[in-house]
Structure 1
Amino acid sequence: MHPLSRLALLIPPIRRLHDARDQLLEERDSLALQTRPLGSSPLHHYNACFDAEAMLHRHAARDLRPHPNRITNFLGVLVDPKVLPAILAGREGSIEPIPIPANWHADVAEWAMALRAVEQAQGRFIVIELGCGWGCWMNNTGVAARRLGLAVTLIGVEGDPGHIAYAREATAANGFDLADVIIHHGIAAARSGRALFPRQTPGGADWGLEPIFDATVEQIDEAVRSGACDALPMLSLAEIIGARERIDLLHVDIQGGEAALIAGTLDMLTERVAMLLIGTHSRQIEGELFERLLSVGWILEIERPAILSVGSAAPVVTIDGVQGWRNPALLP
């Protein structure tokens, strides 16, 4: 088989628009933005051991003022509409309400667990966001922690250089010092190595790109030479955490690789991470996470399963799920 033919089998059609994914994102955003009677949205149907909606109300900033060029969310975080122009264009100068049941980015379950981690921190809040995109959870939890008087360390890992540029701009716009922000250009993984990551034009346009692991040296060279992909370092969780003794929140949203990452880093997680917030991309992944984390004593504090579209040959995930876990070894 010709080398480029083998590459075509390995790599999804990167240069084509991800029409199906875009349609699902539009359906999710429509659900979040429509006005519905209380309880009628599927995003209201989560399970929690704490009052998630009260958590959002408790952290909502008061007396917010609009910014002429950005959206201001309920925490006071400034968001540039260019990070998702299909949804956010034209909303400059607006102030978003508390996202119950959701906003354009996340639902109440995910927001509540992220803020719960902020409340459990002492002195300094340290967050690691794997697949950080524009730095959503770094910025949101960082701003909430700063309002509580905590010092912050914001750490992100991202494969797309366009998204990294957005993240750097967002942390600067939200008033974080360069010394408090660390963004790695690479792929979060259970082990070190190299992975392929699709190259997109323009940079930052697609939010659902998936890394390709376990390619051979020849396949990596072919993909880079063709311009379809970049070869990026696979960064182990141990490398990302470094010498830090405690991470207050690890946010994981790596497009289907969540279960493998957790399985390969359980000891490190239990030793160093206080809370886990995981975006899940299938019911199978959710089951694997239950099995792995419960077996070593982690406590599930909030969850909303992935929402499916059924009736075709196979169920399709239309809205990713959320799981929030507490580590009793660090937070009894």
Structure 2
Amino acid sequence: MPLIRNAALNVPALRRLYDSRNALQRERDVLVDDRARLQHSIEELSARLADSENRPPQSPFFHYNTSFDPIELMHRHAAPGLTPKPGYLTNFLGVRIDPKFFPEILMDRAGQVEGIPIPANWHADVAEWGVALRAIELAQQSFTMIELGCGWGCWMNNTGVAARRAGLDVHVIGVEGDEGHIGFARESLEVNGFQPEQVSLHRGIAAAQSGLALFPRQERAGVKWGLEPIFGATEEQRAKAVESGDYDELPMVSLSELVNPHPRIDLLHIDIQGGEADLIAGCLSILREKIAYILIGTHSRQIEGQLFDTLLQDGWHLEMERPAIVGILNGSPSISVDGVQGWRNLRLLPLS
């Protein structure tokens, strides 16, 4: 009897022990589930972090607006079977570039073949390549282009080589103020297979009207590529500037002078260090009549707005643009990369 009494007396205690054990098991199961979920979250976060470290950051050169596919054009115009050329960098179109043109950038790249520059390479991005190739696509039978501020003949060579491969008769025209750079242009065009009758080079300053301007001298060509002309100096000021040895006095080459000998210009490339809006505004008549496509390198957001106003009001059709890339310096926008605009003349190239 005492044993039974003691057992009966322990039943509530045993139930409490069982209840406590069950509660602890449930808490353990919850903790196990929470740990599994936490481990999964850690693994997922680690995978995302590794992926983000391996993926290159989104380039600002992908931030363009367009009505056609520029990357498809770049792939379609890429030259097949390119082989290295000793002493030259060969780009994706097959254009050979002497590293001495940009010694700080290209001197260790002689003998290389460059891939398709998506989104950009050392001198141009998808937007500029796309607009240039778009003009070739719209040309018929022949391709005549003008490059204002041609430097080493960059877009004369690139568009000329691509148009030639497309089976078009080619004529390229360039204007440049730097004596050494226009020598580079002459040399590069010869290296890339252009005959003398296919090339017109003018040493001077591209402008809406004829006249005289000052252009800075540099001791070594290929060091500075953003030199800006000085317009509106008096005869006395020009004489003093030339006497100093820091400037050359050069003719201002009007757009009409360049265009008039030709029935049509398939591409006008403008990169004149901030004078693009004034040039466009001063040449609308001849632009309407003879220029089928314009590629403009823009040097400020203000200039971009001026170009929008001028060309849209004149009936031009914007096909591609990438805004100038700016930073902020002392509370003002500071240009770091030129913008790009591509304009189609609907009078010469109506939409189908």
Q: TM-score range by the shorter chain?
A: 0.7 to 0.9
Distance 1:210 1:308 in 2: 19
- Which deviates more from structure 2 when the two are superposed, residues 308-317 or residues 95-104? 308-317
Equivalent of residue 101 in structure 1, options 109, 113, 119: 119
Alignment correspondent of 1:263: 281
Q: Secondary structure at the match of 2:332?
A: coil
Following superposition, the deviation at residue 110 of structure 1 comes to 0.3
Is the CA contact 1:160–1:204 (under 8 Å) kept in the aligned structure 2? no
Instruction: Map 1:231-250 onto structure 2 (within 5 A).
Output: 231-250=249-268
Q: Secondary structure at the match of 1:231?
A: strand
Determine the C-alpha separation between the residues in 2 that align with 1:236 and 1:146.
27
- Partner residue in 2 for 1:303: 321
Structure 1 position 191, deviation (Å): 0.5
Q: Is 1:292 aligned with 2:304?
A: no
The answer to whether 1:135 aligns with 2:153 is yes
Contact 2:102-2:222 at 8 Å conserved across structures: no
After superposition, where does 1:53-202 map in structure 2 within 5 Å? 53-202=71-220
In the TM superposition, what is the alpha-carbon distance from 1:253 to its structure 2 partner?
0.1
Higher normalized contact order (CA 8 Å, seq sep 6+, divided by chain length): 1
Q: Which contiguous aligned blocks of 4+ residues in structure 1 show a shift greater than 4 angstroms?
A: 35-39
- Alignment CA distance shift 1:208-1:36 (3 Å): farther
Q: Identity of aligned pairs, percent? A: 62
TM-score, normalised to structure 2, is: 0.83
- The Cα of 1:205 is off from its aligned counterpart by 2.4
Range moving further from structure 2, 71-80 or 116-125 = 116-125
Distance 1:36 1:176, change over 3 A: farther
Change (3 A) 1:223 1:311: closer
Which whole-Å deviations, capped at 9, do the CAs of 1:45-100 have from their partners, x for residues lacking one? 10000011111001001110000110000000000011111111110111111011
- Runs of at least 5 residues in structure 2 that lack an aligned partner in the other structure: 1-52
Using the size of structure 1 for normalisation, the TM-score is: 0.88
Q: Structure 1 residue 243: deviation in Å?
A: 2.3
Answer whether contact 2:88 2:110 (CA < 8 A) is retained.
yes
Post-superposition shift, 1:241? 1.1
Following the alignment from structure 1 to structure 2, what is the Cα–Cα distance between the partners of residues 269 and 230?
29
Deviation at 1:312, TM superposition (A): 2.8
The CA distance in 1 between the partners of 2:253 and 2:166, in whole Å, is 31
The answer to whether the Cα contact below 8 Å between 2:100 and 2:222 also exists between their aligned partners in 1 is no
Q: Which residue of 2 aligns with 1:318?
A: 336
**2:294 aligned residue:** 276
Structure possessing the higher radius of gyration over alpha carbons: 2
CA distance in structure 2 between the partners assigned to 1:39 and 1:111 by the alignment: 21
Q: Secondary structure at the match of 1:279?
A: strand
**Cα deviation code 1:13-47 (max 9, x no counterpart):** xxxxxxxxxxxxxxxxxxxxxx9947700001100
User: Residues 161 and 204 of structure 1 are in contact (CA less than 8 Å); yes or no, is this contact kept in structure 2?
Assistant: no
Look up the equivalent residue of 2:271 and give its one-letter code.
Answer: D
Instruction: Say which is worse superposed, 115-124 or 197-206, in terms of deviation.
Output: 197-206
- Distance in 1 separating the partners of 2:103 and 2:220: 13
Two-structure CA RMSD over aligned residues (Å): 1.3
| Greater helix share, structure number | 2
Write the distance in 1 (CA, Å) between the matches of 2:57 and 2:79: 25
Report Cα offsets for 1:97-137 as digits up to 9, x if no partner.
10110010100000011001011111110010000000000
Contact 1:210 1:255 in 2 (8 A): yes
Q: How does 1:203-222 map to 2 (within 5 A)?
A: 203-222=221-240
- TM-superposed CA distance for 1:242, in Å, is 2.4
CA distance in structure 2 between the aligned counterparts of 1:104 and 1:133, rounded to whole angstroms: 15
1:2-81 matched pairs, under 5 angstroms: 37=55, 40-81=58-99
CA distance 1:100–1:36, change in 2 (3 Å): farther
Shift of 1:310: 2.0
Does the 8 Å contact 1:191/1:234 carry over to 2?
yes
Deviation at 1:311, TM superposition (A): 5.8
Asked whether the 8 Å contact 2:324–2:338 carries over to 1, the reply is yes
Counterparts of 1:37 and 1:72, CA distance in 2:
27
In the aligned structure 2, how far is the partner of 1:38 from the partner of 1:155?
39
